[in-house]
């Protein structure tokens, strides 16, 4: 069978590939700790499950409108009003099968072959692959640790060309945990105001997982002048431990939302009616579990930061949000493993840790900025603790100097 040429440049999701490798090793009897996949280890709060159960029992089992049920669109509108001070009409909202489909719909609805999309590295790997599937060109701007892993206005200005269609921002960031302040967004907004052809996709899916005093600000709230070309992406997967329910949503100009709904109508006909009922309960219901989950992620963030600080050769800027640690491993590059392999890249480091320490994690290459390794901290404290001790021992077993 001949496959589409567009797929030649596309990778399967790196974190899912790592997780599959960990599962295969576990099935073979190995004691592997999987820190690859980014999903909360908590159960979905009971009132959400109950609402979905009732919806199914009451017969909410048919197609909903393609762009989302009226009830969920209204709940999403209330969420933006309440939490971000933003007003969106139902025609400016779409509900999809996860935030990922919102991103897919938006890019499919707007990209022509060769159009450029600016990504601030390190970035969520799927952005680049979705762009490539659609014939677009990811333009990667390195945002190193010294810049707080944040895009700088001058670098944004330099990356914009006549072919630039989108800038994708993600705060709090997967994988770095960096959060943009209002002032930092405003500075980027000043550049974007000079380039009317550039749309902004602001992925805010980790909004509720923040550990800083200043907390989270929506790009939409920071840069209201750009409203007519901003799409805010969010969803219930991460905040409410609902990854398997597959509900995400987007809010932006009605014309874009309409085009995205057309794409979606031919792809999935919309999201699951039962999951949408659960999402209404998540957004409208009590929010205490969200705070509880965030407190656990904060505690684990501290645990990881303390562990990594004691491991020679690894370096971690304390993540400000989300549930990942993006660990610089420059100090391990060039060293030799006990079986004589020289670690040349972060992919080598990840392979070594899987093989030697039985810890599965994702190399920074998947996020566009090397040499780093990303671990997910969405794992029970004790397991995280064991994994970090194993990583430390694997570090001790390396020999040779860094070049
Ligand atoms: C930054 C970012 N955006 C979007 C997604 C996808 O979310 P969903 O599971 O709702 O499709 C993820 C999941 O890992 C993510 O990290």
Using the predicted structure, report yes or no on whether residue 132 has a pLDDT greater than 90.
yes
User: Quick check: helix, strand or coil at residue 188?
Assistant: helix
Q: Are 277 and 58 in contact (CB under 8 A)?
A: no
Mean predicted confidence (pLDDT) in 60-70 = 97
Residues 222, 197: contact at Cβ < 8 Å?
no
Amino acid 402: pLDDT: 58
For residue 142, the SS3 value is: strand
**First-to-final CA distance of the chain:** 46
Q: How confident is the model at residue 7, as a pLDDT?
A: 84
Strands of the 137-142 sheet, one edge to the other: 93-96, 248-251, 230-235, 199-203, 164-170, 116-121, 137-142
Residue ranges around ligand 1 (CB below 6 Å): 38, 98-100, 124, 170, 174, 203, 205, 235, 237, 243, 248
Beta strands of 258-363 (E only): which ranges?
A: 324-328, 359-360, 362-363
Half-sphere exposure of 32 (CA within 13 A, CB side): 24
Residue nearest atom 16 of ligand 1, based on CA coordinates: 174
Question: Is 0.85 topped by the overall pTM?
Answer: yes
What is the 205 CA–ligand 1 centroid distance (Å)? 7
User: Which H or E element spans position 248?
Assistant: strand 248-251
pLDDT reported for residue 19: 80
Looking at ligand 1, which atom is closest to the CA of residue 100?
11
Residues 178-196: tens digit of each pLDDT:
999 999 999 999 999 999 9
**How far apart (Å, rounded) are the C-alpha atoms in residues 365 and 371?**
7
Is residue 18's pLDDT more than 90? Answer: no
Alpha carbon distance 144, 248 (integer Å):
29
Could you tell me if residue 333 is left (phi over 0), alpha (psi between -120 and 50 degrees) or otherwise beta? beta
CA distance 373 to 344: 13
Atom of ligand 1 minimally distant from the CA of 248: 10
Strands (E), 130-223: 137-142, 164-170, 199-203
- Which atom of ligand 1 is nearest the CA belonging to 39? 14
Task: Give all domains of the chain, ordered by start, each with its CATH number.
Answer: 5-43+289-395 (3.90.1150.10), 62-284 (3.40.640.10)
**CA–CA separation, 232 vs 251, rounded Å?**
5
What distance in angstroms lies between residue 106's CA and the mean position of ligand 1's atoms? 15
Q: How do residues 224-263 score in pLDDT, each as one tens digit?
A: 999 999 999 999 999 999 999 999 999 999 999 999 999 9
């Amino acid at each position: 069978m001949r496959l589409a040429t567009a797929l030649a440049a596309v990778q399967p999701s790196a974190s899912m590939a790592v997780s599959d490798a960990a599962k295969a090793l576990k099935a073979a009897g190995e004691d592997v700790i999987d820190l690859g996949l980014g999903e909360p280890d908590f159960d979905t709060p009971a009132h959400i499950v109950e609402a979905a159960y009732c919806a199914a029992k009451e017969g909410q089992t048919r197609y909903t409108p393609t762009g989302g049920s009226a009830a969920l669109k209204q709940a999403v509108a209330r969420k933006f009003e309440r939490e971000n001070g933003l007003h969106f009409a139902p025609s400016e909202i779409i509900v999809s099968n996860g935030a990922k489909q919102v991103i897919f719909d938006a890019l499919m609805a707007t990209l022509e072959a060769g159009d450029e999309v600016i990504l601030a590295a390190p970035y969520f790997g799927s952005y680049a692959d979705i762009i490539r599937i659609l014939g677009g060109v990811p333009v990667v701007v390195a945002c190193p640790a010294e810049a707080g892993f944040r895009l700088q206005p001058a670098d944004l200005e330099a990356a914009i060309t006549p072919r630039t269609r989108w800038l994708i921002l993600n705060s709090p960031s997967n994988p770095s945990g960096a959060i943009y302040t209002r002032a930092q967004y405003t500075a980027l907004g000043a550049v974007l105001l000079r380039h009317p052809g550039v749309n902004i996709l602001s992925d805010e899916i980790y909004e509720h997982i923040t550990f800083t005093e200043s907390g989270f600000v929506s790009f939409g709230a920071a840069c209201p002048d750009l409203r007519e070309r901003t799409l805010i992406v969010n969803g219930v997967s991460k905040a409410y431990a609902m990854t398997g329910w597959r509900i995400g949503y987007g809010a932006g100009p009605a014309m874009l939302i309409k085009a995205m709904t057309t794409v979606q109508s031919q792809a999935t006909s919309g999201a699951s009616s039962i999951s949408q009922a659960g999402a209404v309960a998540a957004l409208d219901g009590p929010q205490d579990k969200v705070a509880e989950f965030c407190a656990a992620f904060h505690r684990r963030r501290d645990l990881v930061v303390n562990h990594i600080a004691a491991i020679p050769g690894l370096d971690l800027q304390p993540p400000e949000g989300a549930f990942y640690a993006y660990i610089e491993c420059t100090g391990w590059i060039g060293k030799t493993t006990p079986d004589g392999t020289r670690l040349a890249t972060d992919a080598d480091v990840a392979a070594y840790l899987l093989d030697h320490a039985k810890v599965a994690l994702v190399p920074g290459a998947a996020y566009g900025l090397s040499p780093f390794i990303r671990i997910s901290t969405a794992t029970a404290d004790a397991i995280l603790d064991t994994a970090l001790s194993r990583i430390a021992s694997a570090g001790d077993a390396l020999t040779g100097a860094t070049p």
